[in-house]
Structure 1
Amino acid sequence: MTSGTISFLLIIVTALISYKGFKDHFFFEKYEFGVDKIRLYKDYKRLITSGFLHVNWMHLIFNMLGLYFFAGSLIRELNTGQFLLIYFASLVGGNLLSLLVYKNQGDYTSVGASGAVNGAIFATIALNPSVSIMFLPGWIFGLIYIGITIWGVRSKRDNIGHEAHLGGALIGMLLAICLKPDDIQENYIYVLLIAVPTLVFIYLIITRPHILMIDNLFFKTHTDHYSIDHKYNETKANQQQEIDRILDKISKRGINSLSQKEKKMLKDYSKK
């Protein structure tokens, strides 16, 4: 299968699923990235399915153009299997970083293939730092892009998922290094220039999360976060309270007094 065929198939599948999401809000919500849905309900498929959804046509076209321009050269440099590994690992890696950054903001959601596409772009830069991107050598573009992305994560001044971009870019670059270590020997300086500040920033996010807590239009330092543990405990408590109510109703009026919804709830609870 040629490089053009692989990228074409990815674009077509992503476009079709995104279009379905445009038209079907229930479908969109079922497969989007959501902190609560992943952490609380263990719906891990969203780490991948969210990469096939987009907010609108502009969002979709922008990402698919990035995929179109970089997939072919990366597949020729590696192979189809390695390209797909980079693409999907970058998608998951970007979403995992978002999950880490927004772990206490359970209502945070996002969609898009940006993490995966950034993985492909930065894998290309790792293997060929001189590649031209927007009239700049790839490594200079990478440095500027990483700087803007780190600033975006830090400042939270827009609604762009900078975390997914950053995580995807890093995973793509690291995988390219692992897959073609001989090539990196010539390019290691450029790779380090991009990878080191990215790794340092991610380390700071993990060890000192308060660095993200700055006041601006979209984020307030003193916001009281409703943690995932609180939500889990509250959900369990509410479920138990409802079951107790149903059991009390049975003891007073008999099981035939239950509605279909109550019977189903009791049946589901008994399976746990």
Structure 2
Amino acid sequence: MDNLSLVTIIIIVANAIISYKGFGDFNFFEKYKFQIGAIQRGEKIRMFSSGFLHADTQHLIFNMLSLYFFADVVINHLGAFPFIIIYVGSLLLGNLLSYYFHKNEYQYSAVGASGAVSGIIYSAILLQPGMKLMFFFIPIAIPAYLFGIGYLLYSIYGMKNSIGNIGHDAHFGGAVGGYLFTLLLAPWLFQTNMLMIVLLALPIVLLYILKRTGKL
């Protein structure tokens, strides 16, 4: 078993065990989910623990499959330990952005590894922007960088219009985490992938402008 399999399996197993504990134990779920009021009362552990809880089995499977498909790209380029840094950093940054946008909504709550997984996806795209992605509803492969840009633009749209019961802000924050931590850990990308760095930064700049101008 190589580092890729070991690290990925450990994270997937941890998510599965903690999520299934939450499925069957309401008090456990309530104690460790992301919840604005509780965090403001000092329960900072929720900023981390909520990333290992999920709303249901479908939510869990979707996130873990997404992680599995992109994890190898990051680990093959950077190694297992940097992968963990990006995963945890993206989880925390996703929740920090969510906290920032909902800090006055004391009952706001959320769960899921989506922020962390978004960070790994964005990291993989930054490291290997030329890879092609296929989706069952799109009959042709699309470049990974186009998916990354589109993903964040949709997240901004979802945040602005409160679409669905989805933590778009955590997704966006996680992707930004993947972007920033990858550049810190792989500064050589500034020599090899500068155009992609600029292109993938555009949605981040757009979010900043929208927030500064009060349009979000």
TM-score relative to the length of structure 2: 0.92
For residues 87 and 119 of structure 2, what CA distance do their matches in structure 1 show? Answer: 6
Q: What does residue 74 of structure 2 align with? A: 74
4+ long deviations beyond 3 Å? none
- Of residues 128, 135, 152, the one that matches 1:146 is 152
Q: What does residue 268 of structure 1 align with? A: none
Which residues in structure 2 correspond to 1:4-19 (within 5 Å)?
4-19=5-20
Look up the equivalent residue of 1:37 and give its one-letter code. A
**Per-residue Cα deviation, 1:60-82 (whole angstroms, up to 9, x for no partner):** 00000011111122111101110
**Per-residue Cα deviation, 1:7-30 (whole angstroms, up to 9, x for no partner):** 011101110100000000100010
Which residues in structure 2 correspond to 1:70-109 (within 5 Å)?
70-109=70-109
Identity %: 42
Which residues in structure 2 correspond to 1:260-271 (within 5 Å)?
none
CA drift of 1:211 comes to: 2.1
Look up the equivalent residue of 2:153 and give its one-letter code. G
Question: Unpaired runs of 5+ in structure 1?
Answer: 213-272
Q: 2:73·2:128 contact (CA, 8 Å) conserved in 1?
A: no
Look up the equivalent residue of 2:103 and give its one-letter code. K
CA drift of 1:203 comes to: 5.2
What's the secondary structure of 1:136's corresponding residue? strand
What's the secondary structure of 1:129's corresponding residue? coil
Look up the equivalent residue of 2:207 and give its one-letter code. F
Q: What does residue 129 of structure 2 align with? A: 129
CA RMSD of aligned residues (A): 1.3
**Per-residue Cα deviation, 1:102-141 (whole angstroms, up to 9, x for no partner):** 1111100000000000100101111111122222111011
Look up the equivalent residue of 2:89 and give its one-letter code. A
Question: Unpaired runs of 5+ in structure 2?
Answer: 135-140
Look up the equivalent residue of 1:96 and give its one-letter code. L
Greater relative contact order, per chain length (Cα 8 Å cut-off, separation 6+): 2
Q: 1:28·1:53 contact (CA, 8 Å) conserved in 2?
A: yes
Q: 2:130·2:144 contact (CA, 8 Å) conserved in 1?
A: yes
Which structure has the greater CA radius of gyration?
1
Q: What does residue 137 of structure 2 align with? A: none
Look up the equivalent residue of 1:149 and give its one-letter code. S
**Per-residue Cα deviation, 1:175-221 (whole angstroms, up to 9, x for no partner):** 1111111133221212211213213313543x34x423xxxxxxxxx
180-189 or 44-53, larger mean C-alpha shift: 180-189
For residues 197 and 133 of structure 2, what CA distance do their matches in structure 1 show? Answer: 16
For residues 189 and 150 of structure 1, what CA distance do their matches in structure 2 show? Answer: 22
What's the secondary structure of 2:166's corresponding residue? coil
Q: 2:148·2:200 contact (CA, 8 Å) conserved in 1?
A: yes
The change in CA–CA distance for 1:38 and 1:203 in structure 2 (over 3 A counts) is farther
How many residue pairs match? The answer is 209
For residues 179 and 151 of structure 1, what CA distance do their matches in structure 2 show? Answer: 30
For residues 176 and 119 of structure 1, what CA distance do their matches in structure 2 show? Answer: 9
For residues 43 and 209 of structure 2, what CA distance do their matches in structure 1 show? Answer: 26
Match status 1:165 vs 2:171:
yes
What's the secondary structure of 2:163's corresponding residue? coil
Q: 1:127·1:184 contact (CA, 8 Å) conserved in 2?
A: no
Q: What does residue 258 of structure 1 align with? A: none
**Per-residue Cα deviation, 1:239-260 (whole angstroms, up to 9, x for no partner):** xxxxxxxxxxxxxxxxxxxxxx
Look up the equivalent residue of 2:46 and give its one-letter code. R
For residues 47 and 202 of structure 1, what CA distance do their matches in structure 2 show? Answer: 23
Q: 1:146·1:194 contact (CA, 8 Å) conserved in 2?
A: no
CA drift of 1:157 comes to: 2.4
